[in-house]
Amino acid sequence: MKIFFIVLIYFFCLNFEAKLKIEIIKGSEDLPDIAVVPFKSSLGRKFEYKVRDLINEKLTLFGEFNSLELEKMLSFPFDEESFYRRDWELLSVDYAVFGEIYETEGNLTLYYLVADIGLKRIILRGDITGENKNIGLITKKISDRVYESITGLKGIFNTKLAYILNPEPNKYSICVSDIDGDNEEVLFSSNSPLMSPDWSPDGNKLAYVSFEKGFAEIYIQNLLTGVRETIPTLGMSKSAPVWSPDSKNLAFVISMSGNPDIYNYNLKNKKISRLTNHYGIDTEPAWSPDGKKLLFTSNRSGSPQIFEIKVSNKRIKRVTLEGSYNARSRFFPDGKNIVFVHGNNGIFHIATRNLKDRFINIVTKTTLDESPTISPNGHIVIYSTKKENQGYLAGITVDRKSKFQLPVKKGSVREPAWSPFLN
């Protein structure tokens, strides 16, 4: 069944209240120092500073760099000839980002360079062309390339975040925004609970659970057209949808006669196959990056623990052994590590573990943490947590050098889902 919907004026009001904004709450004292210089341009000083500020905001978004203030800069280079390394050595800068902007046939071409002061060389040269109105997207792409040249990790500034917003009691919305909180959109709102958003690998669709008909039903929503489709299962309660890496399958949970098990839905032939069959509760599936395995949570051993099932032969093995509560697991992009919720004595933290050893690494210190989601470059985890009665999102880099939070002005936000890399 397909459903079309109209976004009402109410949503515009909601956007004003809901907008996320990253706030750094702790950074390491040993962070790289970066200087982003205003890009030279014939469009005027205001535009030069705008481009600089947009790139600087992205690079410092998660608290991974210390940024040099403009007033402390000794020079403003725009190419290799005007760049003098000693100016930056005197300021103990590790990396300098600079460049020049040209107007060409109604478009802008931005040339950019990154200098590694310690290595005494230019580590990145590049250019990008686009329309002036797309300067935000252009600077995101430049920031991604700069970030990768410095860290070796692919940049994530052009990714998005989906989440569930509760602006007030008995009001639920599925929202999507840029990773910095800009360009927030409300995809769907309901007086009944919404939960479990999950991105398709191409970033064009979102699967989620809605109780709008009085029971849990999975919807797949096209983000380009707004069309919503349901998965036909004769009214049985469904939950926790997750896309396979090749976009061909959707794993989820069906509760048949009150007993939840993991099922797989082939999106092409519309056939459903059962993967687990146990009297215990099997829930919260998560695909491996190669699509050959699924993690899931089960109490079949007596307490909630993480298990792994091989899809081809349905062979199951237990993954977590330490602790009385381990749930809601997700693979890192490398397929070698997982992130999950680890609980003891009513306190729940986000933890990681390398699948080759048994050691659990607890990475958060708040007490009611849940629903971790991993950046597509595997470097940052965002999760839900609570302070008093308000739910909000928080995040941490895997090396624990930076911690941040994403509060909302009104209501609560939960169940974040990080998009894949987007074009």
Show the 3-state SS of 207-267. EEEECCCCCCEEEEEECCCCCEEECCCCCCEEEEEEECCCCCEEEEEEEECCEEEEEEEEC
* Domains contained in the chain, CATH given: 2-21+165-418 (2.120.10.30), 31-151 (3.40.50.10070)
Residues in the chain: 423
Mean pLDDT of the chain: 91
Dist. CA 109–CA 90, nearest whole Å: 31
Q: Which of 354, 318, 349 is nearest to 338 (CA)?
A: 354
User: Which candidate, 388, 337, 396, places its Cα nearest to that of 365?
Assistant: 396
Quick: pLDDT tens for 257-269: 778 999 999 999 9
Pairing label, strands 172-178, 185-190: antiparallel
**248, 211, 256: which is closest to 230 by C-alpha?**
211
**Chain mean position to CA 296:** 20
Position 187 pLDDT exceeds 60 = yes
pLDDT tens by residue, 101-158:
998 888 999 999 999 999 999 999 999 999 999 999 999 999 999 999 999 999 999 9
Q: Where are the beta strands (DSSP E) in 279-359?
A: 282-287, 293-298, 305-310, 315-318, 325-331, 337-344, 347-354
In sequence order, the 6+-apart residues with CB closer than 8 A to the CB of 82 are 75
Q: From CA 169, how far away is CA 290, in angstroms rounded?
A: 40
Confidence band for 423, pLDDT divided at 50, 70 and 90: confident
pTM recorded for the entire structure:
0.92
Strands 33-36 and 95-104: parallel
20's tokens: 């996320």
The yes-or-no verdict on residue 174 having pLDDT over 80 is yes
Cα dist. 314→251, 263, 317 in Å? 14, 11, 10
Angle at CA of residue 154, ends 422 and 109, nearest 5° = 70
- Specify the pairing of strand 259-266 against strand 272-274: antiparallel
pLDDT score of 3 more than 50: no
pLDDT at residue 234, as a whole number: 63
List pLDDT tens digits, range 268-279.
999 999 999 999
Q: Which residues contact 302 (CB under 8 A, 6 or more apart)?
A: none
From 228, 80, 243, 55, select the one nearest 150 (Cα to Cα). Answer: 55
Task: Give the pLDDT band of residue 12 (cuts 50, 70, 90).
Answer: very low
Q: Please name which of 178, 237, 174 lies closest in space to residue 206, comparing C-alpha atoms.
A: 174
* pLDDT value at 29 more than 80: no
pLDDT digits 0-9 by tens, 44-58: 999 999 999 999 999
Least confident piece of the model among 207-221, 276-290, 355-369: 355-369
Average pLDDT estimate for 348-353: 95
Mean pLDDT of 396-409: 90
* pLDDT > 90? residue 5: no
- Reported as a pLDDT band with limits 50, 70 and 90, residue 9 is very low
What is the pLDDT at residue 18? 58
pLDDT at 341: 97
Average pLDDT over residues 223-252: 91
